[in-house]
Every structure is written in C-alpha cells, then in structure tokens.
Structure 1
Amino acid sequence: MFALVLAILSNALCINVKDCGNGRNIVHLDAFSVKPDPIQKKQNVTYNVTYTFKQQLTSATCQAVVKKGAIPLFRKTINICENIQCPIDAKTYNQHGSIALPSIVPTGSFNAEIHCNDANKKEIICFSGSVTIK
C-alpha cells in the first residue's frame, strides 16, 4: 500500500525515512530503499518497501506534503481504497517498482511527510524523510 503512495507521489521519494508516529500505529514501515542514491534527474528510480499491518484495515486516507525548506511545493490527499482493494489483511507486505523521474523535477533537497488515518481518524502510520535530487 505505501509503495503505491510513494508511486503516486513521485516527487516525494524519501531516502532518509523515519517513523514520525506515536509508536502505537497499526502499520509499521519495516524497510525502505531507493536506487540510485543519490537520485538523478531524468533517471528511473527503483524502490523496495516492506511494511507490516498489525491488524486488518478497511479504509485509509493519506495526507502528503513535500517541502523545500519551509515552502510547501506539493500536497495530495489519497484515499487508499480507491487505488487498491480493501480490506487489507494483517500481514507483512513487500513491494517494489520503478518510477520515471521527469526532467521538470527541480534539483535540491526536499522534505516529505505522509500521515495516514483510518475511517475513525485514528493515525495508522506516519513517516517522514528527506531526499536530494541532483
């Protein structure tokens, strides 16, 4: 699921990823990697992500923001169940893929944060990270 979020948010690829949640979230981001490192304009970016659902999830909405410094460059709300079939079973998932990074993406350092909540507005995962595009 979160690989899907990352694929949709191609400008929000995060290399230095950390959990910004409260430690009680029902989804745990186990591992995330991106190649090449550093990311280069006009090149494909390959990602691999492993995450674990501690319980079944029937719906989720994610809010994403990408900033350069304090300036928001990109905001997006994603209803996860519009993109994949829900409910999502409690287990560990591994997804991988490739994203073509368009030439219009600016170079520099960026910060991204993604918060996802269930239908009851309870946080299910939060992760943030930074990336440099050369």
Structure 2
Amino acid sequence: MEGSGSNKLLIVFLYTLFILPLIHATDFKYCNKKKEYAVQVSEVVISPDPIKKGQETSFTISAVTDKPLSEGKVVIGVAYFGWSVYSETGDLCTSLSCPVPAGDFTISYSQFLPTIAPPGSYTLTLKIQNGNKSELTCIKFDFSIGFFGFQVDV
C-alpha cells in the first residue's frame, strides 16, 4: 500500500492539531503548602476543557504514594465564587482497586454538569484520607464555566 505511510502521518498530524490542545494539565495547589503529604499529586487533567454545560466532565488526578493504600475516602468539594455548592465523599477502594500498591496511580472522577449551572469561577478541592481520616493529600484547582458553554442539538 503506497499511501498508507502518508495516511498515518496525516492522522498523527490531525490528532496533534485538534485533539492534544483540548487535553492539557490544569494548575493545582496543595491545600497546605507547608505540609508534606503522603500522596503527591503530579497532574490534574480536565476533559473536556473548556467545560461544557449539559455534558459529563472528567477530572483525572495522577499521583504517587510511597506506601500502599488499603482503605480510605475520597472527599470532593466544589465552591462557586467561594461558596460551597457541592460535596461528595466516596470510598477510595471503589475508585481504585485496593490495596493500591506503592508507586504511581490515577483517580478519575466524572460528573454530569447540568445546563442550568451558573457561569463563573469554581474551585474543586480533592482530599484523600486514610482509614483514620488523616489527610494523605489535599489539592485545589480552579475551573470556569462560560456563559455560552453548552451545546445545542439541531
């Protein structure tokens, strides 16, 4: 097949041009900059970015731990212009297969964003706690929803 090499190159080019710009890491901060957390976060990715109303949004958090995790909780809180608007607590072992071995791991969280969500600035706080409710990590990152961040089906 003579053109297959150029077709593969075209696909890679189009992927790089259209898909990769939609997926990029989001800046995050630790809740307590002075604390040495047992779980260190390396990256937060939001998809789609920008977030669109009426669609599911995924937050993927890449992290590393030096000790295995056998139990715990994932606590998520969302604030809108500083006001708490949503919170959820889940079992760490529902999100991940426990025990989580020492090393790299990824937590993914998805949430459907209703079309009535108000536009503006939001802050998501994610905490991972061990079985004794001690914080293993706590991060915050900002995201925004625009006035016209929804799709219209015709």
TM-score by length of 2: 0.63
1:24 CA displacement:
1.9
Decide whether aligned partners of structure 1 residues 109 and 26 sit closer, same or farther in structure 2, where only a CA change above 3 A counts.
same
| Bigger strand share | 1
Pair 1:18 & 2:29 matched: yes
Could you say what secondary structure the match of 1:124 adopts?
strand
Q: Contact 1:59–1:87 (CA<8 Å) still a contact in 2?
A: yes
Sequence identity (%): 23
1:101 CA displacement:
3.9
Query: 2:78: which partner in 1?
Result: 66
Decide whether aligned partners of structure 1 residues 74 and 54 sit closer, same or farther in structure 2, where only a CA change above 3 A counts.
same
How many equivalent pairs are there? 121
TM-score by length of 1: 0.71
Decide whether aligned partners of structure 1 residues 65 and 50 sit closer, same or farther in structure 2, where only a CA change above 3 A counts.
closer
Q: Contact 1:16–1:131 (CA<8 Å) still a contact in 2?
A: no
| Bigger helix share | 2
RMSD of aligned C-alpha atoms?
2.8
What 5-or-longer segments of structure 1 have no aligned partner? 1-13
- The structure showing larger relative contact order (alpha-carbon pairs under 8 Å, at least 6 residues apart) is 1
Aligned with residue 105 of structure 2, among 62, 86, 93? 93
Could you say what secondary structure the match of 1:82 adopts?
helix
Query: 2:65: which partner in 1?
Result: 53
Amino acid corresponding to residue 60 of structure 1 in structure 2: G
